[in-house]
Amino acid sequence: MSFTALDVKALRDATGAGMMDCKKTLQETDGDIETAKQLLREKGLAASAKREDRDNNQGVVALKIDGNVGAMVLLKSETDFVASSDQFKDEAAALVDLVIVGGSDAVAQRAAELEQLKITLKEKIELGRSVHMAAANGNVVGHYRHVQGGRGVNGVLVEVAGGNDELAHDIAVHIAFARPTYLTRDEIPADVVEAEKKTLETITLNEGKPEQAVPKIVEGRLNGFFKNVCLLEQPYAKDDKQSIMQFIGSAEIIRFAQIEIG
């Protein structure tokens, strides 16, 4: 029995399954829609699409280091119960193994396994961000992963030149908890800086400060903004009397990446 695109749409509307799953199932059932409905139900695919509008702000951050190469992967789930399961954590580990060897795009190789995991665990499961960081010759990759409830929830990779593993690790720990957005203020887009400046001007005027004093006050507050979002300007977490720039001395932070649940 043949089928048309309208038949595929009708099956999708009736079951909530994905378009490709509907097409494949109609091929398997020779276009018999009723049999296809039953088959989709038996496979657990009929309910999977209905999960797509659910929040999935839980999950696992997997991290791996191999020499001067680091990798991180975020695998997202709806609940911490599923995220803490061995099957879920094993999948995250398999994904990060792929990234360490083949780069961030290598996660696509496990698309079929992820689809099956959705069916098995009955949640909206999807890949979040993945990071591959290969340090230049002579540089080191620092790393830190904060574990909570038996699963990684906050991971950091940082490439450092002119420093050792201990220094790179200390920087990674700082990043995990200070959560900088940029390395230096030069990396901040001009429109972001301008928007923050206008907000600070409004706040300062609303406080009733003299108009002639506003520019200087705003300048000071803008510097505070830079110290909050720029890694090199942040006070070092273990000694807030010095900035990260002062802490690293002659070493140089090349780049960093952070992945966090939520």
pLDDT digits (tens, 9 = 90+) for 174-217: 999 999 999 999 999 999 999 999 999 988 998 899 989 999 99
What ranges do the domains of the chain cover? 5-51, 58-184+234-260, 189-229
Contact 91, 75 (CB under 8 A): yes
Q: Cβ neighbours of residue 79 under 8 Å, at least 6 residues apart?
A: 58, 123
CA distance 26 to 20: 10
CA 30, chain centre distance (Å): 42
pLDDT of residue 5: 85
Average pLDDT, the chain: 91
pLDDT of residue 235: 97
pLDDT digits (tens, 9 = 90+) for 38-78: 888 767 666 555 555 566 789 999 999 999 999 999 999 99
pLDDT of residue 176: 97
CA distance 42 to 60: 29
pLDDT of residue 79: 92
pLDDT of residue 253: 98
CATH of 58-184+234-260, one of 3.10.20.30, 3.20.20.60, 3.40.630.10, 3.30.479.20: 3.30.479.20
In terms of Cβ atoms closer than 10 Å to its own Cβ (0-12, 13-18, 19+), residue 11 is: buried
Specify the length of the chain in residues.
Answer: 262
More confident call, 130 vs 6: 130
Q: Residue 33 pLDDT more than 90?
A: no
pLDDT of residue 40: 81
CA distance 255 to 50: 39
Q: Which CATH class is domain 5-51?
A: mainly alpha
The percentage of residues in the chain with a pLDDT greater than 90, rounded to a whole number, is 71
Q: Residue 104 pLDDT more than 60?
A: yes
pLDDT of residue 180: 97
pLDDT of residue 44: 67
pLDDT digits (tens, 9 = 90+) for 105-159: 999 999 999 988 988 888 889 999 999 999 999 999 999 999 999 999 999 999 9
The answer as to CATH 3.90.226.10 being correct for domain 189-229 is no
Q: Within 10 A of 68 (CB to CB), how many other CB atoms are there?
A: 15
pLDDT of residue 50: 54
Question: The whole model's pTM is what?
Answer: 0.78
Which of 160, 141, 230 is closest to 189 using CA atoms?
A: 230
CA distance 17 to 52: 11
Inter-axis angle of helices 33-43 and 19-28, to 10 degrees? 120
Local confidence band at 94 (pLDDT 50, 70, 90 cut-offs): very high
SS3 string of 121-153?
HCCCCEEEEEEEEECCCCCEEEEEEEEECCEEE
Compute the average pLDDT of residues 235-252.
Answer: 97
Give all strands (DSSP E) within the chain, no chain letters.
58-66, 69-77, 126-134, 140-148, 151-161, 235-236, 239-243, 252-260
In this structure, what token pair is assigned to residue 254? 């090349």
